[in-house]
Chain A
Amino acid sequence: AQSVTQLGSHVSVSEGALVLLRCNYSSSVPPYLFWYVQYPNQGLQLLLKYTTGATLVKGINGFEAEFKKSETSFHLTKPSAHMSDAAEYFCAVSLGAQKLVFGQGTRLTINP
């Protein structure tokens, strides 16, 4: 069975600082990995995905993530945080194009 662990339920960074949100997964077969963002009282918006190919994937709003099979990780980064990045971020794994299994989420706070 697949599972996702997001390290840190709450991350706080200063505006302009590096954002690093950690995600580790467990899967018996090569996974498909996703990061979604959720703003208050809204649905989820896809930031980026990894299916096959290049292990460094770029997404919207300046975010990127690197798939590291040996570390079973898919950490999300952004070089310079902006106030508008404050939101809840979810890492998810799926087998093929079926159900998503989500982590518990990381709330990102940006300090001015």
Chain B
Amino acid sequence: DTGVSQDPRHKITKRGQNVTFRCDPISEHNRLYWYRQTLGQGPEFLTYFQNEAQLEKSRLLSDRFSAERPKGSFSTLEIQRTEQGDSAMYLCASSLAGVGYEQYFGPGTRLTVT
């Protein structure tokens, strides 16, 4: 059983650098979500895709953030010109479209901006 995978698991970068994270969803899932979780808080929604279409973006997703899902399979989340406030756990989840289908989460990518 291959669940949701994320790469890398940990990333340390200097302020001002660009970083890119990858998420591979469960193979038959057509929806893919990105969330951000800061220490001691619950995850906050960033964006989601159905197949390759990006259907919703949170106000948290500033213009320094961009997400893609080019062929409706894996997705990437890029952060340009990282800031210390970007330090967080970035979680990816996938699901089938439709009522009652729960989201399955990956292990997350922990980003530390120094």
Write the residues of chain A forming the contact surface with B, with a CB cutoff of 8 angstroms: 4, 9, 32, 34, 36, 41-46, 49, 51-52, 90, 92, 96-105
Contact = CB atoms under 8 A, between A and B. Distances in A.
B42 interface: yes
A103 B42 contact: yes
B48 A98 contact: yes
A32 B56 contact: no
B103 interface: yes
A51 B100 contact: yes
A32 B16 CA distance: 40
B interface, by DSSP: helix, strand, loop or mixed? Answer: loop
Interface residues on B, range: 20 to 34
Contact of B91 (A9, A43, A45, A104): A43
16 contacts: A4-B42, A9-B40, A32-B100, A43-B4, A43-B106, A43-B107, A44-B43, A46-B102, A90-B43, A92-B42, A97-B101, A98-B48, A100-B43, A102-B42, A104-B41, A104-B42
